[in-house]
Amino acid sequence: MKITREEVAHVAHLARLTFREEEMEKFTSQLNDILLYMEKLNSVDTTGVEPMTHATVLHNAFREDVVKPSLANEQSLANAPDPRGEFFRVPKVIE
């Protein structure tokens, strides 16, 4: 086993997801298959190879630090599930 139910449960918590019992079973088994497949990378010699994180030669894209127009408050709030005045309302954070 590459990954146990407990590890899947831990990672699910980190990713802010929950699973039902039977989903957990299926996911753990599918993730094992996928992680086993990835083991083939271990046979590649990558000594001294610089990791590639980007497909172009660009590094930073700077611009002048000037204020430009942005969305109005009402536009920013238009899609909110529970807007209150100029705020996004959420359930209680601390009991």
Q: Which residues bind other proteins (CB under 8 A)?
A: 3, 7-8, 11-12, 14-19, 23, 27, 30-31, 33-35, 37-38, 40-42, 44, 46, 49-56, 58, 61, 63, 71, 75-76, 78-82, 88, 90-93, 95
- Collect all residues with Cβ–Cβ distance below 8 Å to 28 and sequence separation of at least 6: 3, 4, 5, 8
User: At closest approach, how far in Å is the CB of 85 from other proteins?
Assistant: 15
**DSSP secondary structure letters along 22-86:** HHHHHHHHHHHHHHHHHGGGGGS--TTPPPP--SSS---------------HHHHHTT-SSEETT
Nearer to other proteins, 1 or 80 (CB): 80
User: At closest approach, how far in Å is the CB of 66 from other proteins?
Assistant: 12
Token pair of 92, please?
Answer: 């209680």
User: At closest approach, how far in Å is the CB of 61 from other proteins?
Assistant: 4
User: At closest approach, how far in Å is the CB of 64 from other proteins?
Assistant: 11
Nearer to other proteins, 7 or 25 (CB): 7
